[in-house]
Amino acid sequence: MKVLKSQDILALGFMTFALFVGAGNIIFPPIVGLQSGPSVWMAALGFLVTAVGLPVVTVIALAKVGGGMDALSSPIGKIAGGLLAAAAYLAVGPLFATPRTATVSFEVGLAPLTGESPLALFLYSSVYFLVVFFVSLYPGRLLDTVGRFLAPLKIIALAILGIAAFALPAGDVGVATPEYVAAPFSQGFINGYLTMDTLGALVFGIVIVNAIRSRGVESPQLITRYAIIAGLIAGVGLALVYISLFRLGSGSHAIAAGASNGAAVLHAYVQYTFGSLGSGFLAVLISLACLVTAVGLTCACAEYFSKVLPLSYKTLVVILALFSLFVSNLGLTKLIAFSIPVLTAIYPPCIVLVALSFCKGFWQEQGRIVGPVMLVSFIFGCIDALKGAGLADWLPAQLAHLPLSEQGLAWLVPSVMILAVAVVIDRMLGKRSEAIA
C-alpha cells in the first residue's frame, strides 16, 4: 500500500498553509491589532476562531468525505448543494478572491514604487495571471511547485516579518477604537470572515486530496489522515502568522495612527523597520503570498466546473485566468465593497454545513436537520448582508435589531432555535426505512 514519506507530508502541510495565506490574511490582522489597542489578544482570539479554527475544521470535514464539496453537501440534495458549491467556488474564485490577490498585491507591494495608474495595474495583473495560468495547467505538480519551492520561500518571508514584529516593535500599544472597547472578541470574530478562509477551505479540500492522490495514495483512510495532518500544520502556521501580525499592528500606533486598512499599517511598519529595503521586501512577500493562493483557487475552480460543465480543465483555466484579470482591473475598493455583503450572506450556511457534518450520528435523517438550519442561516445572513451593504433602512425595525445583530451574527440564534425544533421532529419521525416498514 502506497504511503507518503515524512518529507511529502511536510510538503503537503506547507502547500496547504501556502494556499491559505493570501493578501487578506496578511492585511487584516495588522489593522485589528492597531484598532483593538489593549484588547488586542481578546480580539485576536475571536479572529483565530473564524480565520483558523473554522478553516481547519472544514479541511477535516472534507477529508472525511473524500475532499469534494458535493459529498459534504449531499444531505441538502443535488440542486441546493450544487448552488451552494457554485456560489462558494465563484466567490473565492473569479468573482472576488482570485482577482483580489492581484489587486491587493499590486496596491500593497508595487503601487508605492510604480504609482497607482490603471496602466501599471493592467501590466502587473497581465504578467501575474500569465504565471497563474501556466502553473495551474499542471495541478498534479502542485506538491512540487508549491509545497517544495514556493511555500518555503513564502514561509521564510513571513518568518522574517513575524520575528521582527516581536523583536523590533515600532512603539507602544495605542488606544482602542470604540467598537473594540465595547466588544473586542466579536469584532475580531467578524473580521476573521474577511480572510475568506472557510470558503477557501471548501474549495481547497479537493486540491489537497488530489495532491495526495498524485503521489499514488489510494486508501481513503490514509487520504483522510494525511489531509487532517496537512490541515493541522496549516492551522498552526496560520495562527503563528496572525499572532505576529497582531503584535505588529498593536505596536504600530506611533507610526500608523489613523490608518484605514492593514495595508497602510504593514507598509508603515516595514518602511520604519527595514528602511529603503522595506518596500521591496513587502512587494515580494505580498506578491508571493497572493500568487500561491491564486494558483490554488484557479486549480480548484477549474477542477470543480470541469465536472459540471461541458468544458475541459485547461479551457476553464484559460477562462478563469482571463476573467480574473478583467475583474482585478476594476480596482480593490469596488471589489471589497461588493464582496463584503455577499460573503456575509453565504458564510453562515457554509459554517452550518461544516459544523453539522460532525454531528450526523446524533440524528436519524441528515436532510431533516441540515436543510432547514442552512436555509434559516442563509435568510438571516442575507439580513446581515443588507445591513453591511448600507440598506438597513429597507428592513423592518424588528429585523434590523435582532439578537447579536450588532456583531453581524443575527443568523446564530434563529439557526440554533430551528436546529432544536428539527432535532425534535427528526426524533419523532424516526428513520425513513422504519417509517416505511
Q: What is the CATH number of domain 6-349?
A: 1.20.1740.10
Residue 295 has pLDDT above 90, yes or no: no
Q: Could you report the per-residue pLDDT of 68-95, keeping only the tens digit for each?
A: 777 888 888 888 888 888 888 888 788 8
Q: Could you report the per-residue pLDDT of 210-256, keeping only the tens digit for each?
A: 888 888 887 888 888 888 899 899 999 999 999 999 999 988 888 88
Please tell me which residue, 360 or 133, carries the higher pLDDT value.
133
Judge contact between 329 and 121, C-beta under 8 A: yes
Q: Range with the lowest mean pLDDT among 29-33, 193-197, 353-357?
A: 193-197
Residue 433 has pLDDT above 60, yes or no: no
What average pLDDT does the segment 1-28 reach?
81
Distance CA 284, CA 305 (A): 32
Distance CA 62, CA 53 (A): 14
Instruction: Return phi, psi of residue 258, to 5°.
Output: 85, 5
Distance CA 102, CA 96 (A): 11
Judge contact between 235 and 56, C-beta under 8 A: yes
Q: What pLDDT does residue 143 have?
A: 57
Q: Range with the lowest mean pLDDT among 64-68, 196-200, 202-206, 299-303?
A: 64-68
Residue 390 CB contacts under 8 Å (≥ 6 apart), including other chains: none
Confidence of residue 128 (pLDDT cuts 50, 70, 90): very high
Q: Could you report the per-residue pLDDT of 18-60, keeping only the tens digit for each?
A: 778 776 788 889 999 999 989 999 999 999 998 999 998 888 8
* End-to-end Cα spacing for the chain: 43
Residue 171 has pLDDT above 90, yes or no: no
Percentage of the chain modeled with pLDDT above 90: 19
Q: What pLDDT does residue 141 have?
A: 66
Distance CA 307, CA 310 (A): 8
Residue 301 has pLDDT above 80, yes or no: yes
Q: What pLDDT does residue 437 have?
A: 38
Q: Which of 170, 175, 242, 172 has its CA nearest to residue 37?
A: 175
Q: Which three cell numbers stand for residue 19?
A: 494556499
Please tell me which residue, 290 or 281, carries the higher pLDDT value.
290
Q: Could you report the per-residue pLDDT of 366-417, keeping only the tens digit for each?
A: 888 998 999 999 998 888 788 767 766 776 766 767 777 766 678 889 999 9
Helix 313-328 to helix 118-136 angle (10° resolution) is 160
In the chain, residues under CATH classification 1.20.1740.10 are 6-349
Mean pLDDT of the chain: 83
Residue 313 has pLDDT above 80, yes or no: yes
The DSSP code for 409 is: -
